[in-house]
Amino acid sequence: MASGAWSWTSQRQSTRTGTRLATEAVAASALNRAVIEQAKGVLMGRTGVTADQAYELMSQLSQDTNRKVHAVAQDIVDRATVRPEDPAGQDHPLLSGHEG
């Protein structure tokens, strides 16, 4: 009987852990999508590309630099929101105003 109780408790804890991890994954995914959408907006506004072209630019840079698209997008957003007096903020290849 004790073994059965342990099994049920262990399974219940495992289910809670799985549910928590799934919830965290969904939240992280939503944040990643939001950053990618922000970066697409930055690229669209600065370079005049379409949303699909902006994503393709980020995707290509992601592959070229072996980084996740989300990381490339975060970099674009970070550099686009830097103060004007910070010259390092605008040197991102996708923010140069021309297609590579």
Q: Angle 73-77-78 (CA atoms, 0-180°, nearest 5)?
A: 115
Query: What is the pTM assigned to this prediction?
Result: 0.63
Q: 95 or 72: whose pLDDT is higher? A: 72
B/e letters for 5-39, b = 16+ CB within 10 Å, e = fewer, are eeeeeeeeeeeeeeeeeeeeeeeeeeebeebbebb
Sequence-distant (≥ 6) Cβ neighbours of residue 6 within 8 angstroms:
none
For the cut 70, the answer to whether the pLDDT of residue 77 exceeds it is: yes
In CATH, what is the architecture of 29-95?
Answer: Orthogonal Bundle (1.10)
Average pLDDT over residues 9-31: 75
Q: What is the pLDDT of residue 25?
A: 76
Answer positive or negative: Cα dihedral of 43, 52, 60, 66. Answer: positive
